[in-house]
Chains A and B, each alone.
Chain A
Amino acid sequence: MLSPQAKQKIDRELTKYPADQKQSAVMSALAIVQDEYGWLSSEVMDEVAQYLGMPQIAVYEVATFYNMYNLKPMGKSKITVCTNLPCALSGGVDAAEYLKKKLGVDWRETTADGNFTLVEGECMGACGDAPVLLVNNKRMCSFMSNEKLDKLIEELK
C-alpha cells in the first residue's frame, strides 16, 4: 500500500494538471515511491498505476525509459559519476576510476557491505564543476578531488 505521506505528495503533484490528465503525475509519483522504498518493484508500480488510474504497462514503460529510476535494489548510496566528454576533460573519468578502485566495484555493481552502488552517468548540466557526482539522485557534489571523494565515502558509510 502507498503510505499516506506518499499519497499526500502525489496529490500535491496532481493539482498541477488538468483533472482528466492524472497520468502526468506518474513520473513524480514514481520518484516519490522510489524515495520510500529505494527502488521500484512491480508491486509498487502496480499501486501507482491503480492510484493514477493507468494501465500497469504504461507505468512500466515510464519506469524503464528514464535512467534515474532504480529497477532493482541499490546500495544504501547510489553514486552516479558523470564521465561525459566535458567532465572527462576535467578529471571526471579519473574520479570514477578512483572510486572504482577505492570501493572495489565496477559500474552497476554494489559493494559487499551493501553501502554503495556505482553508476556511470551522462551530462548532469554541471560540467563547469567537474568532477561531479550525484548521491541517490538528489545530492550533487561538485569539484570532487580525491580528498573530497575520501571524505564523502567516509561520511556515507
Chain B
Amino acid sequence: MAEFAKTFDYGPDAIILKGLDGSNWRLKDYESRAGYAALKKILRDGLKPEDVIAEVKKSALRGRGGAGFPTGLKWSFMPRSFPGAKYLVCNSDEGEPGTFKDRDILRYNPHVLIEGMIIAAYAMGIAVGYNYIHGEIWSDYDRFEEALEEARAAGYLGEKILGTDFSFQLHAFHGFGAYICGEETALLESIEGKKGQPRFKPPFPASFGLYGKPTTINNTETFAAVPYIIREGGEAFLNLGKPNNGGTKLFSVSGNVARPGNYEVKLGTPFAKLLEMAGGMRGGRKIKGVIPGGSSMPVIKGDVMMSIDMDYDSIAKAGSMLGSGAVIVMDEDTCMVKAAERLAYFYFEESCGQCTPCREGTGWLYRIIHRIEHGLGRQEDLDLLLNLADQIQGRTICALGDAAAMPVRAFVKNYREEFEYHIAHKRCMVGPGGYSTRHVAESLAMAAE
C-alpha cells in the first residue's frame, strides 16, 4: 500500500528522526546509529540518577505533549525514597488533530523511545513502565511490541539490565479511540481499566498516579530526546535551540501545503522556513491562517505567522501556543466558519461528559457555529459564542474545556468579518465547498509516485 509513499526528508537538522528510511527501525539499525550508547554510558560510568536529571535540566528540554513543562523539573518532583512501586508512563495517545509525529517515532525509530524511557526510569528509580498507544495505529502498536521483544532479548530491558542491579519492565498499552485519554490523568484511569475521565489535580501524578502510586508521564517525543541529551550533553541539546527552548522539535505540517509531513527543525526556526520545507502553499495559493500547535490552540493570521519563529516563547508572544507542534495551514479558499465548526464538533464529540460547562458548553459552541455556517445565524451569536467560551474556559477539571474555547475565540477574533458575512448574507464569503481541495488530486498523484 501507499503506506511508505511519503517523504523521509525530515530536514537537515533532525536528530530524533535522522537517517530513517522506513525500514531501518530494528535494534541492530538503531545500534548502528549510536543507539543505546547513552544507556551504556550511564551504567558504565556509574552516572548517578541526580546527574541524569541535572543533565536533562541543563538541556532546557520542555514537554512535547502540549503544555511545554520543563522535563528535568518534572522528573525532580518524583519522591526519591518512596518505599513502594512507582511508575513511568509514556503518552503516545497522539489524538490532537493535526499531530502525527509520535507515530513516526513509534514505527520508524521505536528504540529511541525505549532507550529514553529506560534512562528516565533509571533517573527516577522506577521499575515498571507503560506506553499508552493511540488506538487507531494498530500496526504501529504491533511494531512497538516487537521492538520491546528485541530490547528484552538484548538485555536492555528486564531484570538486571546489562548485568547491573538496575531492572526495568516496559509494556505497551493499547488505547481504543478516545481523545480525552491524551490528558494525563484520563490516561491513567484508562490504564486502570476505567472510562477515561480526568482526575482533579492536585494531587499531581508525581504523588498520586497510576494505581495511586507516584508516576511520571511524558510525551513520546520528550522521551525520544533524552538519549541525545545524555550522549552529547545537555548543553549541546540546548544550543541546538535557544535559551529556555532547547533542542529540535518535530512539527507535523498539514493542510494546504504541497508536502504535508513531519519536519524536525531547531526551535527558533522561522515559520517561513518550515513552510518552505513543506513545499510551500499547495497550488501557490495565499496563506490565510495557521494553527501553530494543534487544533486546541488559537489560530494566527497568515501574514502575522510569516514573521514568527517556531519556539515556545515566540508563539506565546504572538498569542497562541506551540502545543504539540501540529501546524495546520489554511489557504485563502478555506472558509474559517466551516473550519471552526469542524473543530467545535470534535470537542463536542470528545468531551468526556464529566464537567457541566464542558459537556453542555461544547455542544452549544458547535450548534451555534453550525447554524451560522448554515445561514441561520443571528447578529448576537458572535457575542454569545465569546460569552460561552468565557463560561467554559478555566471552569473544568481538565484542559479540554480550554481546548474547545480558545480556538473559537481566536477564529471569531481574527476572522470576525467572515462570521458576520455568513450571518448577514446567509452564505459563504469564499465560495462553495469551504475547503480548497481542488489541487488535492495532484498532491495524491505526487504522493503515489
Contacts and interface: CB of A to CB of B under 8 A. Distances in A.
B211 A125 contact: no
A62 B97 contact: no
Interface centre among B1, B326, B339 (most CB of A within 10 A): B1
A24 B435 CA distance: 42
A143 B328 contact: no
A3 interface: no
Contacts of A143: 2, 5, 444, 447-448
Contacts of A28: 173-174
B102 A125 contact: yes
Interface string B214-253: 0000000000000000000000000000000000000011
Nearest to A85: B342
A127 B97 contact: yes
A123 B193 contact: no
A2 B2 CA distance: 37
Interface residues of A, number: 53
Interface stretch (B14-22, B66-74, B131-139, B149-157): B131-139
Interface centre among A62, A65, A66, A123 (most CB of B within 10 A): A123
A62 B435 contact: no
Interface string B433-449: 00111001101110110
A90 B441 contact: no
B5 A140 contact: no
Contacts of A112: none
A26 B445 CA distance: 42
Contacts, number: 192
Nearest to A20: B211
A142 interface: yes
B195 A62 contact: yes
B194 interface: yes
B61 to A, nearest CB: 22
A69 to B, nearest CB: 6
Nearest to A67: B177
Interface of A is mostly: mixed
Nearest to B134: A125
A142 B342 contact: no
Interface stretch (B312-320, B343-351, B374-382, B413-421): B343-351
Contact of A88 (B2, B349, B352, B435): B435
Interface stretch (B49-57, B254-262, B398-406): B254-262
B191 interface: yes
Contact of B194 (A61, A122, A141): A61
B292 interface: no
A27 B328 contact: no
A153 to B, nearest CB: 15
A127 B295 CA distance: 12
A133 B304 CA distance: 34
B178 interface: yes
A91 B437 contact: yes
Interface string B76-93: 000000000100000000
A94 B436 CA distance: 11
Nearest to B259: A128
Contacts of A80: 136
A84 B138 contact: no
24 contacts: A65-B196, A69-B177, A84-B342, A84-B343, A85-B295, A85-B343, A86-B295, A86-B326, A89-B330, A89-B435, A89-B437, A90-B440, A90-B443, A123-B98, A123-B295, A124-B137, A125-B100, A126-B103, A126-B137, A127-B260, A128-B252, A130-B260, A141-B1, A142-B3
The 5 closest A-B pairs by CB, nearest first: A23-B193, A67-B177, A68-B177, A91-B440, A124-B136
Interface of B: 1-3, 5-6, 85, 94-100, 102-103, 130, 134-139, 171, 173-179, 190-196, 211, 252-256, 260-262, 295, 326, 328-330, 334, 339, 342-343, 346, 349-350, 352, 435-437, 440-441, 443-445, 447-448
Given A127-B100, A128-B254, 20 more contacts: A24-B192, A67-B135, A67-B177, A69-B176, A85-B255, A85-B342, A85-B346, A86-B295, A89-B254, A89-B329, A123-B98, A123-B179, A126-B100, A126-B136, A127-B97, A128-B6, A128-B100, A128-B253, A129-B447, A137-B138
